[in-house]
């Protein structure tokens, strides 16, 4: 049975957070926590100018900001702040470690699990030029 308004309000008041513990390839573990909707908006805004346009200088740190908002200690406190992420706090970390944490962050927040419907069609094996149906792009150029 679907939740009613009162049940949804009670659920949001608790701020239930999900987390995953990630084994880091270079050793140790990291705890990755889910974002709330409010945090998701802050994450997106962190890489924008005040007028809402994308800030190219900050866009380079988009994944770093996601890490700073999702990697937490055992008490749920962020290990690094957004400002620290924008200042490059993750720069010296091994890519295998940061990629493991990013995969966990995108998974726990259900981000990027499936391509958009239009993208799925473009990448389908049934689309001409993408594998079996219609041949390859080289085949199509020679016709």
| Residue 59 counted as domain residue | yes
| Residue 1 counted as domain residue | no
Tokens 């190219």 locate to 56
Higher-confidence residue of 60 and 114: namely 60
At 131 the three-state DSSP class reads coil
| Residue 60 counted as domain residue | yes
* Cα–Cα distance, 109 to 22 (Å, whole number): 15
- What confidence category does residue 113 fall into, taking pLDDT thresholds of 50, 70 and 90? low
Question: HSE-up of 97 (CA within 13 Å, CB side)?
Answer: 14
Higher-confidence residue of 37 and 102: namely 102
Q: Tell me the residue range of the domain where 75 lies.
A: 16-109
* Number of folded domains that form the chain: 1
Is residue 71 within 8 Å of 63, Cβ to Cβ?
no
The DSSP bridge partners found for residue 19 are 33
| Residue 84 counted as domain residue | yes
Q: Where residue 50 sits, what CATH number does that domain have? A: 3.30.2220.20
| Residue 131 counted as domain residue | no
Q: Which of 64-73, 78-87, 111-120, 121-130 has the lowest mean pLDDT?
A: 121-130
């Amino acid at each position: 049975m679907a939740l009613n308004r009162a049940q949804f309000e009670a659920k949001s008041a608790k701020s239930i957070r999900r987390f995953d513990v990630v084994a880091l390839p270079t050793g140790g573990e990291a705890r990755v926590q889910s974002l709330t909707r409010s945090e998701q908006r802050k994450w997106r805004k962190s890489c924008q100018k005040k007028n809402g346009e994308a800030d190219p200088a900050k866009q380079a740190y988009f994944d770093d900001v996601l890490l700073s908002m999702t990697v937490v200690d055992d008490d749920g406190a962020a290990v690094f702040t957004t400002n620290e992420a924008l200042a490059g706090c993750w720069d010296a970390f091994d890519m295998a470690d940061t990629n493991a944490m990013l995969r966990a962050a995108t998974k726990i927040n259900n981000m990027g699990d499936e391509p958009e419907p239009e993208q799925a069609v473009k990448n389908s094996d049934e689309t001409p030029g993408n594998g079996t149906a219609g041949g390859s792009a080289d085949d199509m150029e020679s016709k």
